[in-house]
Amino acid sequence: MKNWVLPVALLAFVCGCEGVTFGQICQGNTFNTRRGSDNWGQGQYGASRGSRSHQGLDINCDDGSVVYAPFDVTLNGRVIVYTDPNKAAINNGINMEGEGLCFKFFYVKPDKVAGTVSKGQRLGVMMNMQSVYPGITSHVHVQMCDRSDPTGYF
């Protein structure tokens, strides 16, 4: 079965989320600066990951920084990112929805995994990526639930 990826314009029509823009995600990164290239790869949607492609967008975030709700969100549970026990130090995240979008943040230790959080309020803390990927640009991985390209929302 083929996986279809809808263009952001069509997706916005379907979800009613046209004009939605993510607010600040990480303390110290007011403009949601994206991860570029480093010794571990690139942070844009579709970047090569060997035999697969990157299914999210990486937003720079220093280890230990506060992570914020980009708009009013409903928390829909924890995300387990990896099955590899060697990556346990960053194996956490959160499922959310808001503004007609369903999305996930990876590498975040959430304060809670249910309920609601208002725009700009603390969701949790960026986990220590350097302990697993030394030299990587630490980042929050933003992934849409349907794995479509989140870039148009930034």
Domains of the chain in start order, with CATH, are 8-153 (2.70.70.10)
Residue 54: Cβ-neighbour burial (10 angstroms; 0-12, 13-18, 19+)? middle
pLDDT of residue 8: 46
pLDDT at residue 91 is higher than 60: yes
Give residue 50's pLDDT band: very low, low, confident or very high (50, 70, 90): confident
- The more confidently predicted of residues 18 and 5 is 18
How far is 54 from 143, CA to CA, in rounded Å? Answer: 9
pLDDT at residue 6 is higher than 70: no
pLDDT, average across residues 92-116: 98
Cβ neighbours of residue 149 under 8 Å, at least 6 residues apart? 5, 8, 45, 46, 57
pLDDT of residue 14: 55
* Mean pLDDT of the chain, nearest integer: 92
pLDDT at residue 111 is higher than 90: yes
- R_g over Cα of the chain: 15
pTM above 0.85, yes or no: yes
Which parts of the chain fold into alpha helices (H)? 8-15
How far is 26 from 9, CA to CA, in rounded Å? Answer: 26
> How many residues in the chain?
154
Question: Comparing C-alpha atoms, which of 24, 91, 86, 90 is closest to residue 60?
Answer: 24
pLDDT, average across residues 67-89: 96
Q: pLDDT over 70 for what percent of the chain?
A: 90
Give residue 80's pLDDT band: very low, low, confident or very high (50, 70, 90): very high
How far is 5 from 56, CA to CA, in rounded Å? Answer: 13
